[in-house]
Amino acid sequence: MRVLIVEDEPALAGAVRDGLRLAAIAADTAGDGHTALELLDLNSYDVAVLDRDIPGPSGDDIARAIVAAGSGLPILMLTAADRLDDKATGFELGADDYLTKPFEMRELVLRIRALARRAPRSTPPVHELAGITVDPFRREVYRDGRYVALTRKQFAVLQVLVEAGGGVISAEELLERAWDENADPFTNAVRITVSALRKRLGEPWVILTVPGVGYRIDVDDAGSRTVDDRTTQSAPRA
């Protein structure tokens, strides 16, 4: 999952970004409205978290732009404006949720996950595919009933692959959806993470490499094929 945080207080924006990363949610930050609009044009996000009072186009203007674009991108307004009239205005502008400052980080994470789940392109709260169960709320993974401990990045990559339902996901798309804007497009991080994830899930291998295309979960005959690090090397490099 990838989130855009629009917040002009650098310390708060950094704290929210770091808190989301701990929950395996990639996050980009924008300190003003112009930067926010540029990032929205460049990247695909699952949720936009907007402060209303920011330099340049306001958070309200950003919300209007998102609604006008017709993307269906869920909007969570995160602001100090806590009067009922302020909340009413926010919802009238197109906000899907409204959280006032100060707030608990855990509540923000839960609200973001709930919004992403309700989005048109979202999938059920708990994802199951080829014997793998991914629970985003608890950040837990099981394979054939066995708990699998994953790092935050491994979890994020697996979630994208499982949500694809067996479809092929390119290394470029994994980099876009599981990393943030600071990721080096020439990095080997995707290949390395997938290789480590494959080992964590154990044999028989369930993540297949499609040479020159990307990766997918083996739903046809899960685990029937052997995929080693040499096969992984043939995957597109992010």
Residues spanned by CATH 1.10.10.10 within the chain?
127-217
Position 69 confidence tier, pLDDT thresholds 50, 70, 90: confident
**End-to-end CA gap in the chain:** 18
Residue 70: CB atoms within 10 A of its CB come to: 7
Separation between Cα atoms, residue 164 and residue 168, nearest integer Å: 7
- pLDDT, residue 139, reads 86
pTM over 0.75: no
With b for 16 or more beta-carbon neighbours within 10 A and e for fewer, the 31-48 pattern comes to bbbebbbebbeeeebbbb
Percent of the chain with pLDDT over 90: 63
Order of strands, sheet of 146-148, starting from the edge strand that comes earlier in the sequence:
127-129, 132-135, 140-143, 146-148
Position 221 confidence tier, pLDDT thresholds 50, 70, 90: low
Separation between Cα atoms, residue 86 and residue 163, nearest integer Å: 36
Residue keyed to tokens 């732009």? 65
Dihedral angle, C-alpha 158, 162, 168, 174, nearest 10 °? -40
- pLDDT, residue 229, reads 38
Q: Which CATH number fits domain 127-217: 1.10.10.10, 3.90.45.10, 1.10.287.1400, 3.90.1150.10?
A: 1.10.10.10
- Mean pLDDT of all residues belonging to the chain: 86
Position 230 confidence tier, pLDDT thresholds 50, 70, 90: very low
Q: Give per-residue pLDDT as tens, 158-208.
A: 999 998 999 999 999 998 888 877 777 777 999 999 999 999 999 999 999
Helix residue ranges per DSSP H, 119-236: 152-163, 171-178, 189-201, 229-233
Q: Which residues contact 34 (CB under 8 A, 6 or more apart)?
A: 56, 57
**Does residue 233 carry a pLDDT above 80?**
no
- Tell which wins on pLDDT, 76 or 236: 76
42: left (phi over 0), alpha (psi -120 to 50) or beta: alpha
Q: Which residues contact 221 (CB under 8 A, 6 or more apart)?
A: none
- pLDDT, residue 141, reads 95
Separation between Cα atoms, residue 80 and residue 87, nearest integer Å: 10
Q: Which CATH number fits domain 2-118: 3.90.1150.10, 3.40.50.2300, 3.20.190.10, 3.20.20.70?
A: 3.40.50.2300
Residues spanned by CATH 3.40.50.2300 within the chain?
2-118
**Does residue 237 carry a pLDDT above 60?**
no
Return the structure tokens found at 127. Answer: 């994802």
